[in-house]
Homo-oligomer: A and B are copies of this chain.
Amino acid sequence: MNYTDNYNPSISDEELFESIKQEREHIGYYNLVHQDTEHFKAFAKTVKQKHVVVIGIGGSTLGTYAIYKFLKYSKDLEKKLHFLESTDPIELQSKIKTIDLEDALFILISKSGTTVETISIWKYINSLVKCDKTNTVVITENDSKLNSYAKANDMKTFEIPKNVGGRFSVFSAVGLLPLAVVGLDIDEILCGAKKVYNSFFEKAHFYERILKKARFFAEYKNSFNINVVFSYSSRLEGFNKWYIQLWGESLGKIDINSTKQGLTPVGIIGPIDQHSFLQLIMEGRRDKTVTVVKVEDFHNEAQIPGIRLKGLEELSYLENLNFSYLINEQADATIQALNDLNDIPCDVISLDGVDESCIAALMYEYELLTSVVARFLYINAYDQPGVEAGKIILKKKLQG
Contact = CB atoms under 8 A, between A and B. Distances in A.
A359 interface: no
12 contacts: A57-B275, A62-B276, A124-B305, A127-B305, A148-B312, A248-B279, A264-B287, A275-B387, A278-B386, A317-B398, A329-B394, A333-B390
A244 B397 contact: no
Interface string A117-145: 10110111011000000000000000001
A294 to B, nearest CB: 11
A64 interface: no
A155 to B, nearest CB: 11
Interface stretch (A33-41, A177-185, A318-326): A318-326
A337 interface: yes
A90 interface: yes
Interface string A345-356: 000000000100
Interface residues of A, number: 119
Nearest to A384: B279
Contacts of A282: 252, 386-387, 389
Contact of A234 (B59, B88, B233, B251): B88
B310 A149 contact: yes
Given A312-B119, A314-B145, A389-B340, A323 B89 contact: yes
A269 interface: yes
A94 B124 CA distance: 31
A120 B88 contact: no
Chain A residues touching B, majority SS: helix
A126 B234 CA distance: 23
Interface in A298-319: 298, 300, 302-305, 307, 309-312, 314-315, 317-319
A123 B284 CA distance: 35
Nearest to A395: B317
Contacts of A3: none
Given A73-B90, A248-B279, A317-B398, A310 B272 contact: no
Contacts of A391: 333
